[in-house]
Structure 1
Amino acid sequence: MKMTPKRTVVYLSVCLSVLTSLCQGQRSADSQLPSAPDEPILGLTTNELAEALQGLLDEADSRVGLSVEKKASVIPRCDVGERCAMKHGPRIGRLCDCLRGTACNTFFLRCY
């Protein structure tokens, strides 16, 4: 019995797909997390891990001293005709953001 190249390719592809599915099933069974939530991880329970993480976060927050509100810079809104920018030599600094439908004129530095 002589095998044609097409038949060989079909047999090889079937064998590879079967092996891939078997290996995939084995890998998913090995990578499952432990089912017991109170089982110690690295010698610590989940409550101890949570307390340690909270302590680290509190310590990092006290060291930084900046709150989230200060980091998120919110530019106030300007009405039409109000001054929206200020010139600092060759650069222009923004004072406020113009309302929707208007833009800050870079010559007059006002919302129009």
Structure 2
Amino acid sequence: MESVRVLVCLSVCLSVLTSLCQGERSAENQLPSAPDDSVLGLTTRELAEALQGFLDDADSSLGLSVEKKASVIPRCDVGERCAMKHGPRIGRLCDCLRGTACNTFFLRCY
């Protein structure tokens, strides 16, 4: 039990020392950072333009599905059909006016 304690304390001390030594490294040992690093033969500007084009394409294709989901359900008058039965499920066709509710047996606003 005591050997586990010693091992844990030793590992904590080593990790603290290595983190302190990492912060103390001289500037000569660090890699220079160039503003136009090339990755796969492309500059950062070209990569940013490619990413922007991809995001624009994704936005345009995603916009249609979002508009369909966010559409407003039309209003139904009293006595109009407000729902449709699809097997065990009931799908809504329209929203009943204030003060009325969609009757799940007749599927009409009352």
TM-score scaled by length of structure 2: 0.49
